[in-house]
């Protein structure tokens, strides 16, 4: 591992196919990325799709310590999505696997390819509930502490799956 690895948080979601198996495989793949190790994994949760139809999502978050750059990590996430048969049709379309880079350390970034922190992470219960399980005191840069952000959200059902 190179000097100064960063803590990166990845949000996982699937609402097509064998969603639990897909999330498990994606968790494995994330931990197997070069220059990267898994620090913490949340439980799996189910959530009702936001602004879209289709089956419920299965969601989770993973905390990674990585020496990959943000751009390299995003590319790796997209490779893992592609391996799970993701077809990019339209925003919020049902997907076999969605991997979002939620945060990369304290980095603030706004480029066409990558916005950090993820622009909608702070308002999504399916991100905040799993984050609160493993890192309630984590701050989303520019937004506030996970626990406080979650307390502001109403009406988004997110249920922990029995495993
Ligand atoms: P969503 O997850 O919001 O439904 P998509 O996964 O379809 O949207 O969007 C993927 C696009 O979003 C990619 O082209 C990617 O470059 C861009 N993007 C920007 N910021 C991020 C981020 N923090 N994490 C993942 N993708 C991002
Ligand atoms: Mg995405």
Q: What single DSSP character describes residue 96?
A: S
Q: Whose CA is nearest to atom 16 of ligand 1?
A: 113
Report how far ligand 1's centroid is from the alpha carbon of 114 (Å).
Answer: 7
**The ligand 1 atom nearest the CA atom of 117:** 23
| pTM of the full structure | 0.93
User: What is the 3 state secondary structure string of 32-51?
Assistant: CCCCEEEEEECCCEEECCCC
Instruction: Count Cβ atoms below 10 Å from residue 52 Cβ, excluding itself.
Output: 14
Per residue in 104-152, pLDDT (tens digit) is 999 999 999 999 999 999 999 999 999 999 999 999 999 999 999 999 9
**80 CB near ligand 1 (under 6 Å):** no
Residues annotated as part of the active site: 86, 95, 98, 100
Instruction: Find the ligand nearest to 88 CA.
Output: 1
Q: Who's near 144: CB < 8 A, 6+ residues apart? A: 122
For residue 153, pLDDT beyond 70 = yes
Please list all protein residues whose beta carbon sits less than 5 angstroms from ligand 2, which is an ion: 98, 100
Report how far ligand 2's centroid is from the alpha carbon of 152 (Å).
Answer: 23
């Amino acid at each position: 591992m190179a000097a100064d690895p960063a803590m990166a948080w990845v949000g996982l979601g699937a609402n097509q196919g064998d969603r639990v198996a897909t999330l498990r495989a994606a968790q494995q793949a994330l931990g197997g990325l070069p220059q990267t190790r898994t620090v913490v994994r949340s439980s799996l949760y189910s959530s009702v799709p936001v602004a879209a139809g289709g089956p419920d999502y299965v969601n989770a978050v993973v905390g990674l310590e990585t020496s990959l750059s943000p751009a390299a990590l995003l590319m790796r996430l997209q490779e893992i999505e592609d391996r799970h048969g993701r077809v990019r049709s339209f925003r919020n379309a049902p997907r076999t696997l969605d991997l979002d880079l939620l945060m990369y350390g304290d980095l603030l970034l706004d480029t066409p390819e990558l916005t950090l922190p993820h622009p909608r992470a702070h308002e999504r219960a399916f991100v905040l509930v799993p984050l609160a399980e493993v890192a309630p005191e984590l701050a989303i840069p520019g937004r506030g502490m996970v626990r406080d952000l979650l307390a502001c959200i109403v009406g988004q059902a997110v249920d922990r799956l029995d495993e």
